[in-house]
Structure 1
Amino acid sequence: MVVLVDASDSQMAVLADLVESLSAADATLNAMMAARDGMLALAGRVAVDIARQGAHPDRGDMTIRAVAAEIGQRLRVSDRTIERRIGDASWLVDGFPAVWQAQAAGRISSAHARVIIDAGSHLEDDAVRAAYAAAVLPFAEVESPNRLRPIANRIAERFHPRSIDDRHKAARPKRRVWTADTDDGMADLHVHAPAVLIHAMMDRLSQMAHRLREENQKAKRDATTAGIPFDADDRTVDEIRADLIADLVLTGTPTGHDTTDTLLTEI
């Protein structure tokens, strides 16, 4: 690298050793996390076996919770967290064994494994998942998790038994809006809808926010040049976007979805 031109030979040697050591440490951490997942998956199997012996009607749900509580108490983690980890680990170990083995060998990280699993979660057949994993792992070994995500999604799409159009039609009825309260009197508004509409909404909000911010900055520069007192609007683009969507929702009218008595616009 150009910025290292001034480094001495000894400094470059130290840096090379550090890079190798960090690489080895990272591979060891990934292998240990894979080992932990293997033990968690085994705990899930033990719980199912115990439930099967007792012919439990819940197919092991209560037994898994009891096992999770035992592990959580020792690890000082909630049983719900352990139960979730058991589920995730079982899906990795049993559903994507090649991915788990690659992580255990230190070739990929847990973040890579998560990206691969998320992209291929809809693949139900064992053989199809194995073929998908074989196709995506070479990319996982050379790309970062963020760069891997679109690659994994494209590869997974090739193995999907249903076309994207069919899946989109089936997914559309799941569109919804919900809220989640956060700290300091704030809350989040979530919208799950067709991607083309969500991206179009975000694009419109962004264009409006940037246009307004540019106008605010211009007014500020003009006032400063003229020596006129000016109460500057220094909101960020994110702040303006949030204010715009609140303004549009609360003051706009649902012209495309009014009731027959036209009273919906009165709300």
Structure 2
Amino acid sequence: MTSDAATPLDRVERGRLLDAWVEVRRRIAELEAQATALLGERIGEHDAEVAEHPYHRDAIYRSMIAEYSAAGHLSRGAVEFAFSDALALQSMPAVEGAFTAGRVTAAHVREMVRAASVVREAVRNGRADAAVLGLYETAVLVVAETDSPARTRAHARQVAAALAGETLLERHRRAASERSVTVRSLDDGLALLTAVLPETLAVAIQDRITRMAREVIRARDDAPAPTFLDGEDPEDVILPEHIAPDDPLAGVIFGEDSTFTTDPLASPAAPESIIVPGTTVPDDERTIDQVRADLFSDLLLAASPSPALGNDLDGVQARIQVTIAATTLAGLDDHPAELDGHGPLDPDIARALAGRNNGWSRLFLDASGMVTETDTYTPTEGMRRYLRARDQHCRFPGCRMPVHRCEIDHNQDHAKGGRTAIDNLAHFCRSHHQLKHPDIDSDHRWTARSRPDGTIEWTGPLGRIHADRAPRRVMFV
């Protein structure tokens, strides 16, 4: 078969795959709409319970969120947002109809529902007529059914601001109270640092580090090209790009006849250049994104990107917990360390942090990777160190609240004979701790108990058991 005959078949196949993908996504949207509708039904039951027992409103709500969080393997925040969106969708029949038919995805619905909060607030405050919400749905769906969620978000916010009669200044002043900084772990030792700031400040920050990065790259690119002595073979010359940053040869001055000496002015941690006969060549091949990221870290953690103030590790003052094997700490191997609650950590960074901190504790692990004891002479503090190392975060399924923001609690109530022992203690955040409080009605109360391997078994009001296993340490043989 000729290539000309094969081309139409290839296009047909690509079209079939594309159409199949679109159809699957439409069915997914339909299923997501059904899931949202189920949350809406649950809200009705919740409201009925609250009406019957108004004094237990908070406990009823927290128990409901915990039940769905544990069953769906989702964080509490994700479930709360899902219930909030389901509640708002009940007052938006046009959007709900498009969602049910699969014409818009859950991501589109999320943007339309949340942008509509401005319109709903205006209706509640009497600043807009109730019919305005219907106009909002019609105007926003025109874009949502034909465009991406991101573009839907921008359009929905514009429509909401126009219909609600809010001025740009009023919106900005209200939004300024929502500024925040969050961190989400990624793979390979990286993390996503998100700063929610007023847009003008965010743009100014991006502009400043971009201009600084371009200046760094301009200075690097303006450096003279390497020159060689008469009769010298360029392939025999060691250039900066041939040497790793941590190589013992970094930061040396090369002389004639293959002689060299260390450069007393070069920084051992980050030498700016290596002197080659006849020239100086910068050893910086970072991309502009990498330069921006490095400047961002230096400006925040060291106040100014200056060698005199140290690098970003020198400026770390935050509270973190790192676990590293003694052999790795001593430099006998390069097994990854662990940033507790987040994931693997470069052993070089762990060793650098160890040299700046005197709060390290020696832990003993069994063959399965479980921490079994800590060599401390103070029992109470030893138990706390053990539990911090074992738990790392709140022990309710899916909760990631770090241990330093949690409470150590008895699984079996101390007042009812529970022992103050490792196998009866665990870290719980305040919200999940309160779920098992005896003051909560038994219809909404949760219970927790420990297993010998450190697993915490939670039993919900419906009798379903949700297990939270203690985080394991990676073992190397």
Question: Aligned partners of 2:192 and 2:111: how far apart in 1?
Answer: 28
What are the equivalent positions in structure 2 for 1:46-65 lying under 5 Å apart?
Answer: 46-54=45-53, 56-57=54-55, 60-65=57-62
1:151 deviation in Å?
A: 2.4
Q: Which runs of 5+ in 2 are unaligned?
A: 124-129, 229-233, 235-278, 306-477
Equivalent in the alignment of 2:281 = 230
Equivalent in the alignment of 2:152 = 148
- Normalised to the residue count of structure 2, the TM-score between the two structures is 0.44
* Residue pair 2:183, 2:191 contacting (<8 A) in 1 also: no
SS at match of 2:286: coil
1:150 deviation in Å?
A: 2.5
Equivalent in the alignment of 1:106 = 102
Equivalent in the alignment of 2:82 = 85
Equivalent in the alignment of 1:12 = 11
Equivalent in the alignment of 2:172 = 168
Question: Aligned partners of 1:31 and 1:181: how far apart in 2?
Answer: 30
Equivalent in the alignment of 1:94 = 90
1:233 deviation in Å?
A: 1.3
Question: Aligned partners of 2:83 and 2:28: how far apart in 1?
Answer: 19
1:190 matched to 2:187? The reply is no
1:177 deviation in Å?
A: 6.5
% identity of equivalent residues: 26
1:42 deviation in Å?
A: 1.3
CA distance 1:61–1:94, change in 2 (3 Å): farther
Question: Aligned partners of 1:96 and 1:224: how far apart in 2?
Answer: 68
1:121 matched to 2:121? The reply is no
Query: Partner letter of residue 169 of structure 2?
Result: D
Query: Partner letter of residue 232 of structure 1?
Result: D
- Structure ranking higher in helix proportion: 1
Question: Aligned partners of 2:172 and 2:78: how far apart in 1?
Answer: 32
Equivalent in the alignment of 1:261 = none
CA distance 1:244–1:5, change in 2 (3 Å): farther
What are the equivalent positions in structure 2 for 1:22-37 lying under 5 Å apart?
Answer: 22-37=21-36
Question: Aligned partners of 1:181 and 1:82: how far apart in 2?
Answer: 18
Query: Partner letter of residue 57 of structure 1?
Result: Y
* Bigger Cα displacement from structure 2, 237-246 vs 126-135: 237-246
Question: Aligned partners of 1:246 and 1:76: how far apart in 2?
Answer: 34
Question: Aligned partners of 1:165 and 1:136: how far apart in 2?
Answer: 23
Question: Aligned partners of 2:63 and 2:137: how far apart in 1?
Answer: 33
1:244 matched to 2:295? The reply is yes
Query: Partner letter of residue 204 of structure 1?
Result: R
Equivalent in the alignment of 2:64 = 67
Query: Partner letter of residue 146 of structure 2?
Result: V
Question: Aligned partners of 2:99 and 2:217: how far apart in 1?
Answer: 46
- Normalised to the residue count of structure 1, the TM-score between the two structures is 0.74
What are the equivalent positions in structure 2 for 1:210-221 lying under 5 Å apart?
Answer: 210-219=214-223
Question: Aligned partners of 1:154 and 1:5: how far apart in 2?
Answer: 49
1:158 matched to 2:162? The reply is yes
CA distance 1:146–1:167, change in 2 (3 Å): closer
Query: Partner letter of residue 109 of structure 2?
Result: A
- Give the counterpart of 1:135 among 118, 132, 139: 139
Question: Aligned partners of 1:78 and 1:248: how far apart in 2?
Answer: 33
* Residue pair 1:209, 1:237 contacting (<8 A) in 2 also: yes
* Residue pair 1:102, 1:108 contacting (<8 A) in 2 also: yes
- Structure ranking higher in strand proportion: 2
- Size of the aligned set, in residue pairs, is 242
How large is the Cα RMSD of the aligned pairs? 3.4
SS at match of 1:196: helix
CA distance 1:176–1:63, change in 2 (3 Å): closer
* Residue pair 2:118, 2:161 contacting (<8 A) in 1 also: no
Deviation string for 1:101-140 (max 9, x for gaps)?
Answer: 2111111111111222233332223533321111010111
1:61 deviation in Å?
A: 3.1
Deviation string for 1:51-103 (max 9, x for gaps)?
Answer: 2122x235x33213323344445444456643442223222x22433222211
Q: Which runs of 5+ in 1 are unaligned?
A: 253-267
Q: Which is greater in Rg?
A: 2
CA distance 1:64–1:134, change in 2 (3 Å): same
Query: Partner letter of residue 44 of structure 1?
Result: I
CA distance 1:247–1:97, change in 2 (3 Å): same
SS at match of 1:57: helix
